[in-house]
Structure 1
Amino acid sequence: MTINVVVIDDHTLVREAVCRMIDSEPDLAVVGQAGGIAEGRTVLAQNLIHVLVVDVSMPDGSGLVLARAAREASPRLGIVVLTMHNDDETLLEALDLGASALVLKSAPSDEVIAAVRRAAVAPDAFMATGLAEALRRRDSSDKPRLTPREAEVLDRLVAGDSIAAVAKKLYMSESTVKTHVSKVYEKLGAHNRASAVMSALRLGLVKAESVGHARH
């Protein structure tokens, strides 16, 4: 069986190199590629694929948000997160969203190919260099453990977005946003947006420069 792959990365040279690498393998085929989130959504909707290879940071949004939406639409889709960010936050967010693997852009080509093949047959089994160490560091932290969705909602609340604006930007219903807000408040020991923002700042979950004017 040929494994159909879509590659989404805003760096043209990287994207083309990854596509050539994948297409050089007899059992793999790139059936679509995109240089951004909006274009990526269209490519995903137009192709039957087995594995999505996606960058984390793109000019028009987060590759992890796109990957989460793709996972929700197709639970058996393999997702390989390709990134230059070698940090716990990126690794653990990829794990929490249900990615199959996280591979650094500096990794050897055979590691990328192996991740794609493994993602196709075992999409739910996460693989990443340094995973065990990152999990130990997370478990030893006294910070509240927000889910990726809760962290996104917190970021939008801190920026001052209304519930309606958060729902629109994160492609959720307002009732779902309110549920996430309630969970965020509970984990931060907060009773309203202002106290949630203060708790998030104190715990280092957000940066002071990201705080906007709260709109309820």
Structure 2
Amino acid sequence: MTDMVRILLIDDHTIFRESLLRLLVSEPGLEVVAHCATITEGRDILARMDVHIVLLDYDLGEEAGTTLLTHLKERNSAARVVMLTAGMMPSATLTAIDAGVAGVVLKHSGTSQLLEAIRKVANGGTWWDTAFLRSILSGSDKPNDVPAKQTRDLTKRQQLVLRCILDGLSNKEISAHLECSEAAVKASIQELFAKAGVRTRTQLVRIAIERFSADWLQGMP
């Protein structure tokens, strides 16, 4: 995306919202077209304005940010959502993924990480905060009915490729980062799909969260 990235910011904490607003308006290539505190206000804005990225607080008091995700999915909205959160339960994360969230960023993340997430998602990628995934998975139990072939340990290459997927990198970017061919990257991704029993990257992230990413992420940078 070469044009300005048009952003809607939804957060019910006024001080946080206004601080983030000041950060974003000073960043080249980004334009905050509106900001508000509730899902209802957000829906109204999205109905009358062109928005590329919605920065959405998960916990909006009596409302959950996933409500807006469902609304956007039902209307086939082109707006992509990056969830801002201080923390989410695994079940809420799975709900957000199923509803089409394109990224999750922790509120205490650095500025550069948030800006990178916005630009990555605006260009069609995804962003999964690996520290966040580790935190929600550290206490998760694997279901007893997971097939043995799905719980095999990952090779070092598969771990590295998985980390790149969680960071939202494309096959070409993974290839450059790992200094290997795109064909090798595609082969590793297909191996990950086979071990997880899935067909897409989003399904891979979901199954990792739901079942055994705590093991898969162990020892990763």
| Partner residue, 1:180 | none
TM-score, normalization by structure 2: 0.56
| Partner residue, 1:16 | 18
Cα distance in 1, alignment partners of residues 131 and 98 from structure 2: 15
Cα distance in 2, alignment partners of residues 30 and 101 from structure 1: 18
| Partner residue, 1:106 | 108
Q: Superposition pairs for residues 4-153 of structure 1, below 5 Å? A: 4-122=6-124, 125-130=126-131, 140-141=142-143
Q: After TM superposition, which residue ranges in structure 1, 4 or more long, deviate above 6 angstroms?
A: 135-139
Aligned 8 A contact 2:53 2:80 in 1? yes
Task: Name the SS for the 2:78 alignment partner.
Answer: coil
Shift of the alpha carbon at 1:67? Answer: 2.0
Shift of the alpha carbon at 1:16? Answer: 1.1
Cα distance in 2, alignment partners of residues 132 and 60 from structure 1: 25
Cα distance in 2, alignment partners of residues 74 and 26 from structure 1: 29
Shift of the alpha carbon at 1:48? Answer: 0.1
| Partner residue, 2:212 | none
Instruction: Name the CA shift for 1:26/1:60 in 2 (closer, same or farther; >3 Å).
Output: same
Deviation digits for residues 117-171 of structure 1 (CA, Å, limit 9, x no counterpart): 1111115x3523247656798782359xxxxxxxxxxxxxxxxxxxxxxxxxxxx
Percentage of pairs with the same residue: 29
**RMSD across aligned C-alpha pairs, in angstroms?**
2.6
Instruction: Name the CA shift for 1:71/1:103 in 2 (closer, same or farther; >3 Å).
Output: same
Q: Which has the higher contact order (CA 8 A, sep 6+)?
A: 2
Instruction: Name the CA shift for 1:115/1:126 in 2 (closer, same or farther; >3 Å).
Output: closer
Aligned 8 A contact 1:80 1:101 in 2? yes
For 2:47, give the aligned amino acid: A
Deviation digits for residues 34-82 of structure 1 (CA, Å, limit 9, x no counterpart): 1111111111112101100001121342211112212332453221000
Aligned 8 A contact 1:36 1:60 in 2? no
Task: Name the SS for the 1:141 alignment partner.
Answer: coil
| Partner residue, 1:153 | none
Unaligned runs of 5+ in 1: 144-216
For 2:103, give the aligned amino acid: A
Unaligned runs of 5+ in 2: 146-221
Cα distance in 1, alignment partners of residues 35 and 15 from structure 2: 12
Aligned 8 A contact 1:2 1:29 in 2? yes
For 1:51, give the aligned amino acid: I
For 1:18, give the aligned amino acid: L
Cα distance in 1, alignment partners of residues 105 and 54 from structure 2: 13
Shift of the alpha carbon at 1:113? Answer: 1.0
TM-score, normalization by structure 1: 0.58
For 1:42, give the aligned amino acid: D
Shift of the alpha carbon at 1:26? Answer: 1.0
How many residues align? The count is: 142
